[in-house]
Amino acid sequence: MASVATWSTTPASNTSVGGISTDGNVTLVNQIDNMFRGQMAEVATSRDDGTIINVYPRGYLSGLTLSNNAGDATNDIDIAVGECVTLDSPYWRMALASSITKRLDATWAVGTGNGGLDTGSIANTTYHVWLIQRSDTLVVDALFSTSATAPTMPTNYDRKRRIGSIIRLGATILAFTQTGDTFDLTTSTLNYSLTSGATNILQAFTVPNGISVQAMVYSNITVGVGSCTLHVGSGARATANMIIGQCGSSSAAADGSSITSGLWTTTSGQLRVNSSVTGTVNVVQIWTSGWVDTRGR
């Protein structure tokens, strides 16, 4: 039997089914022959350069872990080796064979150590990290964009997939550690602080904007003579439904309880917050420690 490499992309040219003669005189053999020729044409059309269609499932992603660059943590991101399929059908496989470093403070140029910004000037905002590829040469690179859906692609690059998102705040990329879909901020950020109650407000948190993520938050409550119950809910909810902190005492006390996932933000990074306060409350705080981003899977 011929090897896969010798099958023709033209069905009629594939004329052997496991050594069975296909002279067309036997109906069953003829039917098998027609099916076999078509299947072998599909195999021959697929290529061994990583662009085989319908082999990798929609949403497939492995590796491609992001990290702050040690040499310039303020502006640069390292991307580890890995692979994923493209955002749009057909789901082409894109493989990054060697780790790459891209600069947020420079316009995109191909290759490691070069700029990664798709357009405009660097700013304090969310940047989405895209793996990109040219279908003509199969060169793979990476790109930063403020768009979570439609980055400005470099000339000849026509395949893409968002592999993560980062936050620039205070003129620096926030330090983080990525483990799978989880992005842990090195330093937690205070996003909510009140000494009185608030009824089901939408509160912005330090998570990427432009996408919905599962915010990782925790509370800190200190009361004098009184009590406080703090609820948080996903941004799409009309009311906050999950108790994140509760404290009540005749003397000063503190309570903190964390939530690692399950609270989905709006695309503006907001969660629903409700705090019920009686008496004297010294501190009602919610801190953000990171987020979970499924990245299209």
Residue 52: pLDDT band (50, 70, 90) is very low
CB 96 within 8 A of CB 140: yes
251: left (phi over 0), alpha (psi -120 to 50) or beta: beta
Cis peptide, bond prior to residue 90, ω within 30 of zero? yes
Residue type, 216: M
Given this model, what pLDDT does residue 78 score?
A: 98
- Which of 103-107, 229-233, 245-249 shows the lowest per-residue confidence on average (mean pLDDT)? 245-249
Enumerate the β-bridge partners of residue 275.
Answer: 198, 230
The sign of the torsion formed by the CA atoms of 89, 92, 95, 100 equals: negative
Interacting residues of 274 by C-beta distance below 8 A, sequence separation 6+: 198, 199, 200, 201, 230, 231, 232, 233, 239, 240
Which of the residue ranges 20-34, 104-118, 187-201, 215-229 has the most confident prediction, judged by mean pLDDT? 104-118
Which of the residue ranges 46-50, 163-167, 252-256, 292-296 has the most confident prediction, judged by mean pLDDT? 163-167
Q: Answer whether residue 250 shows pLDDT above 60.
A: no
